[in-house]
A and B are shown apart, each in its own frame.
Chain A
Amino acid sequence: MKRRSFINLLLGLGTAGGVGAGLFPILRYLLPPESAEAEPETLSLGPAEQFPKGAGKIFKFGKHPVLVIRTKEGNFHALAATCTHLDCLVQYRDDLDMIWCACHGGKYDLSGRNISGPPPKPLAQYAVQVVAGNLVIASAQA
């Protein structure tokens, strides 16, 4: 290798290293730190009887929004409230007796199964129980 080429190579490597050394901390800085928040296993939502029939409400379960539904017949369902298509929050439609996403028209049945529209996956299910009159939801693993 000629001396000129060698010096050009050194200069090129030095410049690339310098740019990389400048960009790396900026990129790392822009990435937010991981949250150290522990995920809960259960969440108590208060007296079950106070939950209106034919309605759904979203609660925060740790970091995740959960849709809790009480059907007209009085049955409870708890499902992940985030649409599997593009992250919108779904809602319970008592007129259709199904879960609907207003953003792109995706539909799910009450077990969370994607039945129509663009959602590619079902909604995750949460366990729901009435313990001493209180409505309690739990992650599927709990």
Chain B
Amino acid sequence: MDLLNALVALTNYVMIPAVAYGSQLALGALGVTLIYGVLRFSNFAHGDTMAFGAMTTILVTWWMQSVGINLGPLPTALLALPFGILGTMGLLLFTDKFVYRFYREQKAKPVIFVMVSLGVMFMMNGLVRFIIGPGDQRFADGERFIISARDFKAMTGLREGLAFKTSQGITIITAVVVVVALFWFLNRTRTGKSMRAYSDNEDLALLSGINPERVVMYTWMIVAGLATIAGVLYGLDKSFKPFTYFQLLLPIFAAAIVGGLGNPLGAIAGGFVIAFSEVSITYAWKKVLRYLMPENLEPDGLVQLLSTDYKFAVSFMILLIVLLFKPTGLFKGKSV
């Protein structure tokens, strides 16, 4: 019984939150990695792109809620998501046309692109704050739990409850669907193959008649989709605040680099590595250990390795370790 209780507590406080957070990070890191693979720069505006996508979705959600459209037990935001994606696609294609294309034609150095993305980040950040304000926004509706802690206790008779939030369930399912669709697109379709070819070897791809502008356009559109989905899922699961999205940049970059920049599979793995380490290092293990240890050996303290305020430090430490020992990432990314 104690073992079961420990297992339930572990699932409730570590596994489920980490899987959900990991899926959100993985979707974010996929966007960063695709831009790195095709356009060859680290996009600092990615966090704010996610914020923009989430904001557009929230605005449409609010409108739908006000006219009474809803999805029953599911959050209305899912219905608004396609509009958010379209809006973000528009914004990214616009920035590409008026900002990035110029530097592409100049064949500017990657670091110039990074600087430019800083400017874009500033503008998007200002835009989002201008439209929706810097505060916290809630937009989740529908059923809150798939399984609530009380139901679970009543069902199983265990002392520990297990809560499974709708937002977590949706996050996991959506992430799986999106990743499968993305890999199908990259590996099976003509456009996806041309994207990979362009990413592997630009000159060879150009020689074989791939239109670079088309590849870039599709990349931005896919990135817009990924960023919006990641942003909306994160907002549903936690809450929407522009500055938090900016701060997500660090774990997302860490995930992309840990997995190997430019490698989509690595981005997913990296997302989960970062999420699991963040959650397990900042979780107070006392509860789980209490069930597992004999009574006289129970820990006195919280058995928390690091306080939650240092969760950025965790992703950063992992990043440093990977940079020191395996600069190309766990899966082989682009070379140094």
To the question of whether A and B form a pair in one complex, the answer is no
